[in-house]
Amino acid sequence: MNIILASNSPRRRELLAENGVKFSVVPSSFIEEENSGLPPEKYVEFLALGKAKAVFEKTGGVVIGADTIVVLNGEILGKPKDENDARAMLKKLSSNSHEVITGYAVITSEKTINSHETTLVTFNNLSDSLIESYVATGSPLDKAGGYGIQDGFPLVSKIEGNYDNVVGLPTAKILQILTELK
């Protein structure tokens, strides 16, 4: 089976590789549009499907697309525009619970599977100095919500759901789909 990951995300590549999946990477040319009033779950499914379709049209095979968003009280927190935006996001998330929603799409010539997984994440009370130290690493700038759970900073107090989903890919679900395709 020719499996292609339609993503440049090093975290998604690591998650698949750690689970023994043999795959190649073809970054998607899909351009994200503004959310046209879709609920967060449908929006992230739309993004994942768009990424997967763009690659499938070029390559065929089995294409996996994914997109992750952070949702706090109904507000979608994407990737920060700059360090100030990252600080503001982390302050909003401090001492609060939010949803991390990853939309995924698996496309083959026979079928398309498009859904999402949601994980509830609760943050510790973040001090200004912790936020400054974390933002100084540069890591928050390329992550939805301005944070990576895997970065080793004491940001999170509790997770309800799939850890890998928070990293960027619900691997158990993807592995189940790939097994069923064999």
Q: pLDDT at residue 35 above 90?
A: no
- Report the pLDDT averaged over residues 124-143: 96
Catalytic residue (one of 67, 85, 142, 164): 67
Rounded to 5°, angle at Cα 79 from 133 and 65: 130
Q: Cα(40)–Cα(45) distance, rounded to whole angstroms?
A: 9
Spatial neighbors of 128 by CB under 8 A, at least 6 apart, are none
Q: pLDDT exceeding 70 applies to what percent of the chain?
A: 98
Q: For the chain, state the CA radius of gyration.
A: 16
Say which CATH number the domain at 106 has.
3.90.950.10
Residue 104: domain span: 3-181
- 80 within 8 A of 92, measured Cβ to Cβ: no
Q: Cα(72)–Cα(95) distance, rounded to whole angstroms?
A: 12
67 belongs to the catalytic site:
yes
**How many independent structural domains does the chain possess?**
1
Q: Cα(166)–Cα(101) distance, rounded to whole angstroms?
A: 8
Q: Give me the pLDDT at residue 55, please.
A: 97
- Report the pLDDT averaged over residues 126-152: 95
What is the chain's mean pLDDT, rounded? 95
Per-residue pLDDT tens digits for 63-92: 999 999 999 999 999 899 999 999 999 999
The tokens for 96 are 């609060």
Q: pLDDT at residue 93 above 70?
A: yes
Q: Give me the pLDDT at residue 31, please.
A: 82
Q: Give me the pLDDT at residue 1, please.
A: 85
Q: Give me the pLDDT at residue 32, please.
A: 75
Q: Cα(13)–Cα(25) distance, rounded to whole angstroms?
A: 8
